[in-house]
A and B are shown apart, each in its own frame.
Chain A
Amino acid sequence: MPALELHATTVAEHVEHIRTRGYTVIEGILGPEQVAIAAAALDKILDYERRHGDRVLWDNPWYQISHLLVGKDKIFRELCLTPKLLVLARLVVGQDCTIGSVNGYTARPDGIAQELHPDRIVRSAFVDSMQTILTLDEFTRENGCTRVVPYSQDREIPEGVDKCWGCAELASQTIDLEVPAGSLIAYNSSLVHSSGANRTLRRRRCIHISFLRSWIQPEWDFSLSLPKNVKADLTKEELALYGFNAHPLRYNFQTCSEKEQGQRGLRYLRRLKSKLLAR
């Protein structure tokens, strides 16, 4: 698959598509080798979690999900740093955007179609959250590719109603996004969409990464969830992306100030110092 270069004009077009019709598609954003490695890693995780994981995440007619992939295999951290993906995300939701979730997803073989829904129901003049899908298998109508309702991010939703309100009326306007493996589907999180019915006997795998403006509350708390060895290995850029720098402050009753995120030994020394000073 020839890679589509994100020249300045092309990037601008993709950004414009997300702002106006609500979504865009870029083919060839991942190389075949990356797709193969990521698909194998995701398979391994999905198989493990079918044996030991929470049943709700796989024993349903629609899908199997694995949450927080960046804590489970390094390849997913690399995918989050795909240059073209980051360029697009930063143009749409800000240079200081953060990642709210990184999930592995497969439409269940011989499953049924998901109900149309938006991921968020916030209406505003700008995109505050962008959902991206990196496809690891070819997306076809047969295997339940993602379907979207163009321009549906701007529909009126009364406050306090269910987020699927009015989605059924939009069903006739859906577009099936058939794309090859290694592609990127990016859309405004308020866009009405869903995955279709997978009528084949094989998984239809992809990675979902949500990018948020820095002042939006993420779905996942990466600083509490990632294993210690992964956290220690994160680069400066990754710490910023996973919201470590923007995490809400935690109060420390010993120092009457915010809790420091430093070395445990140093924290205890500071605490001891403040206790001594208090006497």
Chain B
Amino acid sequence: MMSTSQLQSASQLQSQPSSLLAHADEILTRGYTVIKGVLTPEQVACALAALQKQFDHEIRFSPKELRNEEHQISFCLPAKDKVFRQLALVPDVLRLVRSLVGSECIVGAFNGYTTQPYGPKQELHVDLNTAKGLLASVLVIFVLDDFTRANGCTRVVPFSQHPDLPERAYLVEGDHWEEKAVYLEAPAGSIIAFDTALIHAASENQTAQLRRALHIQYCRWWVRPQWDFALSMPEHVKAGLTEEENKLFAIDTHPWQLDRLYTKAKRVRPPNFFDYYTTRLRLMLSAWHGKKPK
């Protein structure tokens, strides 16, 4: 388990606050940035062990879209291990993304990803096809194995944010995009952060090794997240979340659910389980007797 002191990584950003602005500016202009040394070797080892555990467990279940010749994905990692919840809170990364998508940003998705040994390249695509000129979310890739051209590092098309795609389209067609793509090689412990409207993809893995990484999407609080953590996390996990984690995983900002008996909005996670149901019972009895509820 990582300690708080381990989370205070010795990255470039911490020693040079001005470089945070420079990296944020790179995302705003060319669409992406790479920061080396954000995670310590201990953090990388810890995250790798936790991710590999998930991959090994899920290998028996995973449907084709999650595990195929191209990649293996493990979804919804914050619901599975505390290590991942801590990684979503790395201070340097939070500072960077909050400067771009607001101080109240949320995690919209958090997946583990690896290209498969000798797997083919992924097609170029955008993750979130929103309106032009809007930075709605930032994808942060935590590099856990060295990213090299040989093992299928991420490739991006600089300055390609918001290509003209039809609504709900994500795949980008045309060889001219491939010609403009740059390959982002980075050592383990780095982060690659980019605008989710930027054209990108994982590349061909020509080695016999996995190329593992964590993908965290930080989005503006009013953007519809890809995953519903409030409904995905087991109750005991939700009960142990800190206030900051509740905000970050959008547990507190989940859309309202109608309590039809009570005729009012209710939180997906009632604040006080016992009180909530005794109130319901009292109202039900009042309704039964045709009395006005107090």
Chain A residues with CB under 8 Å of chain B are 49, 51-57, 66-68, 71, 94-96, 120, 122, 124-126, 128, 159-160, 213-221, 224-225, 227, 246-251, 253, 255-259, 274, 277-278
Contact = CB atoms under 8 A, between A and B. Distances in A.
Given A160-B103, A220-B256, A221-B254, A52 B168 contact: no
B194 to A, nearest CB: 17
Contacts of A250: 227-228, 231-232
B258 A220 contact: yes
14 contacts: A67-B258, A67-B263, A67-B264, A96-B168, A125-B133, A126-B133, A216-B222, A221-B254, A248-B224, A249-B76, A249-B226, A251-B76, A256-B61, A256-B75
Contacts of B133: 124-126
B176 interface: no
A213 B134 CA distance: 13
A94 B60 contact: no
A54 B286 CA distance: 13
A221 B128 contact: no
Secondary structure class of chain A's binding surface, majority of residues: loop
B244 interface: no
B79 interface: yes
A214 B131 CA distance: 11
A95 B168 CA distance: 10
B167 interface: yes
Interface residues of B, number: 53
Contacts of A225: 256-258, 260
B227 A57 contact: no
B180 interface: no
Interface string B138-180: 0000000000000000000000000000011000000000000
A30 B57 CA distance: 57
B223 to A, nearest CB: 6
B260 A57 contact: no
Given A255-B63, A274-B61, 17 more contacts: A52-B263, A52-B283, A52-B293, A71-B260, A128-B131, A159-B103, A214-B224, A216-B223, A216-B224, A218-B255, A221-B268, A248-B224, A248-B227, A256-B57, A256-B58, A256-B61, A258-B75
Given A250-B232, A256-B57, A53 B103 contact: no
A109 to B, nearest CB: 19
B224 A246 contact: yes
A257 B264 contact: no
B265 interface: yes
A55 B62 CA distance: 48
A55 B293 contact: yes
Nearest to B290: A51
Contacts of B129: 215
Nearest to B166: A95
A52 B293 CA distance: 6
Contacts of A56: 264
Given A52-B287, A56-B264, A277 B61 contact: yes
Given A66-B263, A278-B60, A224 B131 contact: no
Interface in B221-263: 221-228, 231-232, 234, 253-258, 260, 262-263
B227 A224 contact: no
The 4 closest A-B pairs by CB, nearest first: A54-B264, A251-B232, A53-B263, A225-B258
Interface in B261-294: 262-265, 268, 283, 286-287, 290, 292-293
